[in-house]
Each structure stands twice: as C-alpha cells, then as structure tokens.
Amino acid sequence: MTDKERLRAEIDKVDEELLLLLNRRQALAQEIGLIKNREGQRTLDFRREEEVLAHLLHKNPGPLTPAALRSIFREIISAAREIQAPLSVAFLGPEATFSHLAALKKFGHATRYRPMATIREVFSEVSKEKYHYGVVPIENSTEGVVNETLDLFAENSLRICGEIFLEISHDLLSRSGQLQDVEVIYSHPQAFGQCRRWLATHLPDIPVLEVASTGVAAQKAAKNPNSAAIASAFAAPLYDLRVIEKRIEDHPGNVTHFFVIGPDAPGPTGADKTSIIFAVDDVPGALYHTLRPLAEREINMSRIVSRPMKTEAWRYLFFVDLDGHQAETHVSQALEEIRHLSAWFKLLGSFPKAPGVERLS
C-alpha cells in the first residue's frame, strides 16, 4: 500500500466515524425538537446557535480555519433544524440574488426558501406568518442605505432577529460569454452604481436597463442573446449563463449588510446589537440631548441614518444601531430615557452580532 492509499484508508475510517457521530447528533436534536414542541417553543434559537459556534471556535485546535468551521457547522445545525421542524425563509428574489446568498449563509441549505418580488412582500409574508423569517438588505458599503427597508421598519411590527454581512462581487454574464454580443445590460440600480466605472471604461455606449434585483437581471439575460447581466457568479450556472468578465465592481471589499426579520426576540449572547428608530422635536439640540443617554453610559452607537417621516413634512426619523442587548441594565436604562426624550420611538430588537463578513466562496 502506498502512502497515499494508506492516508485515504485513514480518511475513509474517519468519515465512517463522522457519519456515526452526525447521526447521533441528529437523534439528540430530534429529541430536543420534541421537547420544544411540547413546550410551545420555536425551532430556531439564535442565541443557542451562536453559543454553539462560539464554543466550537474557542475549542478548535486547527488546522481547520474558523471560516471553514462555521461553514461546516452551519450546515450541521441547519440539518438539525430540518429534523426538528422545517424552517421557511423569504428573501428578495428571484434565486441567486445576494439576498438569497445571504439567507443561505445564515440558515444553511436544509431550509425552505421562497423568493419574493419586492422587499415589501418579504415583510408582508413574514408578518402574515406564511414564513418564519425574512432576509432583507439594509445597507451597502459603497452605495449606502436601502431606503425601502428603512421605511418598512418604521411601519411594521416585525423585529430584527439577526444580521449578515456578505461580500459583494459582480460578474458580467451573458448567454454567449462574448463581450462583442452585448447590446444591452440588465442591472439592479445598486449593482450598476457599484460597477459604474468599469462599465464606463469598457462598455461606454451600451445602455443599462434597471431591474428589481440581480436575479431578475440574470433571468432577462438568459432570454435575450444580445444582452448581459450584472449578477453574482452563483447566478451563472442557475440560468445557464457564461462569464464575460469576473469581479467588475469598482471597489474591492464591497459588503452588503442584511437583516433577518421575524417575530423573535433573541436573548443576550454577550456580543449583541440593538436597533431603534426615533423622531425628535424641531428644537435646537434635540438630537444631541436624545442621544446623550448613550454617551453617559459609554454605549457605542455603531450606525445612525435619517429618513423623512412619511406622516409629517420636515420631520425626520433616525435609525440607530448600538452595542449591547436590551436585557442589559445599562442598555435598558438608556433606551427608556431615549423613549421619554423622543417625539416618537420604536424598538426594532436586539440580536447577536454577525461574527464577520461572509465570503462568497
């Protein structure tokens, strides 16, 4: 037996041991699922899943990388949820959008996904309890906030249950894979904005038609042989397209921030965020005084965005993310003060912080 054959035989033995252990884990998960059903609990426990992953990352001796470990156990946990009770997730579709990829990174493949035509439809279907959760984009690192998502949070009762930061990379796709065949390009407005410089340099005279998502762009390019789509590499095999050019985005390191929306209120993990919306009176120093409770308690405010209030001209809503969980005393005290200082206030939820940026590959 050669060294390679010997090592492969050892791998086969390890795989058999892993198979037995994975099935044992699934059996234990199934028993937990029965207990959850008896107690009326939901299948997904964001806090518990983050604790499991954090524990494994702490115990990991290598050479398995943290990213590889998270990827493997995300699917193991996803399979455990499937055996307990099938989980359904709505996302901005069609398939192969970055919202779809973000959902897969968060929930794994053993989940029932359903594409929605608009962000509003994602909110609506989850609100009606047709789906357990939804995944919606909130902000891109180069193109800024997604205004529709912010507006829907102001008018909807759903909570933020989690977050995903996803690497964004755009390919130019077409049926032939030949640049000279392209007479029109389909693109989501944000994707176009992220690739504007490349397009101006290489295809300055080709018109760009805006569509609802990168997935829709790929769908349209699949039907028109003289067109191309700005979409993810994930879309190419799904819609039988070929890559004309990889990574045409103007800024490497482009990232989109997504929120998981649903009815849950995850418990504290020790590494959490809290999101709120509020409006202030139109008086000098109003915003400063409203945010002062955070500074006084040394609570970090990681993001603040303003949007016009739809019901009153020249009044603005402020969307704020802050570090900490609403169950923590200093955070709850600060939130209560902000509530009393605000002309209008809404708590969107507390949720575990994303561990980092999810890579496409």
Q: Tell me the average confidence (pLDDT) per consecutive run of 10 residues in the chain, 361 residues long.
A: 90 94 92 84 80 90 90 89 87 90 93 94 96 94 87 92 94 94 93 93 94 92 95 92 94 91 90 95 90 96 89 83 97 97 94 90 71
**Conformational region of residue 62, where left means phi above 0, alpha means psi within -120 to 50, and beta covers everything else:** left
Regarding whether 335 and 287 lie in a shared domain, the answer is: yes
Regarding whether 346 and 313 lie in a shared domain, the answer is: yes
Regarding whether 332 and 269 lie in a shared domain, the answer is: yes
Read off the amino acid at residue 262: G
| Position 36 in a domain | yes
Regarding whether 330 and 268 lie in a shared domain, the answer is: yes
| Position 31 in a domain | yes
Regarding whether 238 and 187 lie in a shared domain, the answer is: yes
Read off the amino acid at residue 229: A
Query: Closest Cα partner for 87 from 161, 155, 6?
Result: 161
d(CA 318, CA 338): 12
Regarding whether 286 and 316 lie in a shared domain, the answer is: yes
CATH number at residue 23: 1.20.59.10
Regarding whether 45 and 76 lie in a shared domain, the answer is: yes
Strands of the chain (E only): list them: 88-92, 112-116, 133-140, 144-145, 159-167, 171-174, 184-187, 208-210, 227-231, 242-245, 255-262, 272-279, 301-308, 316-323, 344-352, 357-358
Q: Which of 245, 280, 301 is the last residue of a domain?
A: 245
d(CA 211, CA 187): 6
The pLDDT value recorded for residue 207 is: 95
The pLDDT value recorded for residue 125 is: 97
The pLDDT value recorded for residue 141 is: 86
| Position 122 in a domain | no
Regarding whether 234 and 275 lie in a shared domain, the answer is: no
Query: Closest Cα partner for 90 from 66, 114, 74, 70?
Result: 114
Total domains in the chain come to 3
| Position 41 in a domain | yes
CATH number at residue 320: 3.30.70.260
Containing domain of residue 238, as a range?
Answer: 171-245
Regarding whether 344 and 279 lie in a shared domain, the answer is: yes
Read off the amino acid at residue 310: K
Q: Which of 58, 84, 110 is the last residue of a domain?
A: 84
Q: Which of 63, 84, 105 is the last residue of a domain?
A: 84
d(CA 105, CA 335): 31
Regarding whether 312 and 280 lie in a shared domain, the answer is: yes
The DSSP string of 2-66 is: -HHHHHHHHHHHHHHHHHHHHHHHHHHHHHHHHHHHHHT--S--HHHHHHHHHHHHHH--SSS-H
The pLDDT value recorded for residue 80 is: 87
| Position 152 in a domain | no
The pLDDT value recorded for residue 150 is: 92
The pLDDT value recorded for residue 144 is: 84
Regarding whether 45 and 14 lie in a shared domain, the answer is: yes
| Position 111 in a domain | no
- The kind and range of the H/E element at 196 are helix 196-202
CATH number at residue 220: 3.40.190.10
| Position 312 in a domain | yes
| Position 343 in a domain | yes
